[in-house]
Structure 1
């Protein structure tokens, strides 16, 4: 008895910390001491009178050891069903003194043994009153009592109070009125109507917490993984306030609007999808900036401050000759030209006239295709002009006067035109740009009857091929 009192006092000193959740811990075991009071059935005391509890020191029969055991099971909505076994010794039997209305006589009927087996349905007011530690209750039931040589069934009813020290440990006090239907009241012959009071410890158990996180499996959304109460038992590994089961990035702290994923640069694109996670950018650039707005991300832009096409690494196309035609489209990138002529200079009529003015002064040895010495400066001048128009094609035409045989004149004109072409090719003009043809004496520009006229007809002409 002393040990039980000491244990109860120690638990009370530890403090009231939590209520027992019967739905989580459906089983309970209670044990402690019980007291049996027979005064209620003494003549003139045929109605329950709970004030009699104050007379425990002279009316109660108490066995100074653990003398009762209750096993109960929570069944829902505050109700539980229990079975109690108790043992005691009746050495205080209460009788009313004959001829009096209030004087009791206490005597020992012979240390009668007492055994009780009782079934109980209990209702707890714990949830109704909303406390965490104070648990009042009412109970009804029935049982079978053995008192000395007598035995009888009883109808039971009573009340209880449990003070929960922890979620699963409490101190319990119960008083039960046990009504016997025996007509007489004789020791060893009858079982009297009586009160039975119990004081003991109650232990709740049976709750399953697989992951050991303090949250029972039935309330645990992640029963096999330790978690937090605020997330119904699920973990939040990165401590970002989003449970791992709802977190797309459970190992890295993030934002709720991104399902728990981080957006370090705050550009609205999560880091895992951001090609530049530490520099704010745009969605169209996969999270990277584009300072010049040319559609090429700065990290890939060779000219991040100047607009340029992607094909040129984000830089503007060069226009080496400054003619308004980019080098990539300019067929003459180092010579200024016109857009209409793909960046190449256009050969004007004035240029053609200038070429032909030079060509008319080309002198050949008589009857041959070889040049006279004074002709070379003229050929150099023609070469220089043709180099100014690298994209233009020209035809070199040879002509003779009418003296001599036609066949010879035709052959001579062809040879002289070819000689000019060969010179130009040898001095840097692409052969693909040049062609030569001879017309003999067939296209005179002057009369062949005078020396001057014949001199004019012996000529080389340069024509633009379009």
Structure 2
């Protein structure tokens, strides 16, 4: 008895360290409480007579202290196996002395010490319910004082689970010995049990109330609805499936938010605060020119991408955009690429000036009064910055043909040089000399010769 009490104390200490919920989750259980032994049941050879006064507690042998302990382990499919140790004092013993008379009589005894050691195989009927009936079979050995017998056992019981951790167990076990009951060391009897049962042994590493075997995230505490996985941002998507676990989002975006509601997750949206089309990575295009506002230098006016989203200017207002206008600051025509057309009147005016260019006699240098003429011609050339011209030099017939040819070439080149030096692009001008070969008047008179000494200007048409 003294040793059994020590066993109870050890069991209680173990429970204080690990008492949680039993079955496949927590396979181990330990129970203890009181037991009662009645020898009336099984004393008669008549089966029905064994139930006479079955519930008469006054005929039970009850030890008013903790008098049994049970340890069991769940093995699967609602089955568990275990061992039960019990102790009692027998002062009420009932036997059928003749074993055939069916007359059950009380046998006077003086506090026989009862010890039981039994193995049990139990089948739970409703293992997940607070109301958990079970049936059991087994076998064991029972002693009355120094006498003992083996028994075959069977019975029923019920667990009432107050919490996931603790339950009340009531159980009745019939222990059958095959000896002649009139001479048996241990008569057949029923042993009733009532006590507390604790279940334990399940592993819950992260202490979230979900056992590791069922926990999809056993190392980190989580929620039952997510199989033990956490949902840090509380968006209903567990972190393990959430592409944005720290900020609440939508299921269609794997837990990532769509702040501007444009159907593009913020992490893929170049403009997460303002709605925009997917084609522009979620950025708006106010003017609809296909360029996102953030990249558009003129977000309110349509324009080509090549010009940063701004429309091309037409500075001179001639209808030819600056990008195509060779003369963006001077009105021209589309046919002349935005530059003004060189009319016949303009060419005539240039030639009128060309006829008044005066050179020093026999030389290609200019007389002083010619400079204003050259300046007037230069102003006209600048009005047509992309037009190209040929400067033709001509002489009268005085002197040799060779000398006149050279002189005409030099004089035409001198006009070109002066114009280039005063701002006209060299590639716009070409000079050529014809000597005395193309007179426009008679070389027999001074007036005719003066007309033949000239510089003509012709437009180069492309």
TM-score, normalised via structure 1 length: 0.87
Could you say which residue in structure 2 is the equivalent of 1:299? 294
What's the Cα RMSD here?
2.6
Could you say which residue in structure 1 is the equivalent of 2:179? 182
**Number of aligned residue pairs:** 441
- Closer, same or farther in 2 for the Cα pair 1:51/1:23, shift >3 Å? farther
Deviates more, 1:47-56 or 1:258-267: 47-56
Could you say which residue in structure 2 is the equivalent of 1:160? 157
Deviates more, 1:452-461 or 1:230-239: 452-461
C-alpha separation between the residues in 2 aligned to 1:465 and 1:43? 143
- Closer, same or farther in 2 for the Cα pair 1:384/1:97, shift >3 Å? same
Residue from 127, 131, 135 that aligns with 1:134: 131
1:7-58 deviation per Cα after TM superposition (whole angstroms, max 9, x unaligned): xxxxxxxxxxxx954110111111111111011233465447556342112x
- Closer, same or farther in 2 for the Cα pair 1:50/1:237, shift >3 Å? farther
Could you say which residue in structure 2 is the equivalent of 1:230? 225
1:251-310 deviation per Cα after TM superposition (whole angstroms, max 9, x unaligned): 111110011111111112211121111011122222211112223211121100112233
Pair 1:429 & 2:430 matched: no
Contact 2:44–2:104 (Cα < 8 Å) also in 1 = no
C-alpha separation between the residues in 1 aligned to 2:369 and 2:295? 60
C-alpha separation between the residues in 2 aligned to 1:27 and 1:52? 36
TM-score, normalised via structure 2 length: 0.87
Could you say which residue in structure 2 is the equivalent of 1:7? none
C-alpha separation between the residues in 1 aligned to 2:423 and 2:182? 146
C-alpha separation between the residues in 2 aligned to 1:184 and 1:440? 163
Matches within 5 A, 1:19-98: 20-43=21-44, 46-47=47-48, 49-50=50-51, 52-57=53-58, 59-95=59-95
- Closer, same or farther in 2 for the Cα pair 1:388/1:117, shift >3 Å? same
Pair 1:262 & 2:257 matched: yes
- Where structure 1 has 5 or more consecutive residues not aligned to the other structure, the ranges are 1-18
- Closer, same or farther in 2 for the Cα pair 1:232/1:52, shift >3 Å? farther
Could you say which residue in structure 2 is the equivalent of 1:393? 388
Could you say which residue in structure 1 is the equivalent of 2:342? 347
Matches within 5 A, 1:322-401: 322-364=317-359, 367-369=362-364, 371=366, 375-401=370-396
Could you say which residue in structure 1 is the equivalent of 2:118? 118
Deviates more, 1:206-215 or 1:154-163: 154-163
Shift of 1:419: 3.9
Could you say which residue in structure 2 is the equivalent of 1:144? 141
1:169-222 deviation per Cα after TM superposition (whole angstroms, max 9, x unaligned): 111110111111111324xx5211111001111111111101110000111111
Residue from 207, 212, 237 that aligns with 2:207: 212
Task: Please give the secondary structure, in 1, of the residue aligned with 2:55.
Answer: helix
Could you say which residue in structure 2 is the equivalent of 1:278? 273
C-alpha separation between the residues in 2 aligned to 1:21 and 1:327? 87
- Closer, same or farther in 2 for the Cα pair 1:237/1:366, shift >3 Å? same
Task: Please give the secondary structure, in 2, of the residue aligned with 1:209.
Answer: coil
Matches within 5 A, 1:184-203: 184-186=181-183, 189-203=184-198
C-alpha separation between the residues in 1 aligned to 2:413 and 2:189? 147
C-alpha separation between the residues in 1 aligned to 2:386 and 2:63? 127
1:349-394 deviation per Cα after TM superposition (whole angstroms, max 9, x unaligned): 3322232133223344555555566655443332221111111222
Contact 2:96–2:182 (Cα < 8 Å) also in 1 = no
C-alpha separation between the residues in 2 aligned to 1:82 and 1:110? 32
- Closer, same or farther in 2 for the Cα pair 1:379/1:178, shift >3 Å? same
- Closer, same or farther in 2 for the Cα pair 1:233/1:300, shift >3 Å? same
- Closer, same or farther in 2 for the Cα pair 1:400/1:43, shift >3 Å? closer
Contact 1:40–1:47 (Cα < 8 Å) also in 2 = no
- Where structure 2 has 5 or more consecutive residues not aligned to the other structure, the ranges are 1-19
Deviates more, 1:215-224 or 1:331-340: 331-340
C-alpha separation between the residues in 2 aligned to 1:102 and 1:55? 19
Could you say which residue in structure 1 is the equivalent of 2:245? 250
- Closer, same or farther in 2 for the Cα pair 1:43/1:331, shift >3 Å? closer
Contact 1:258–1:270 (Cα < 8 Å) also in 2 = yes
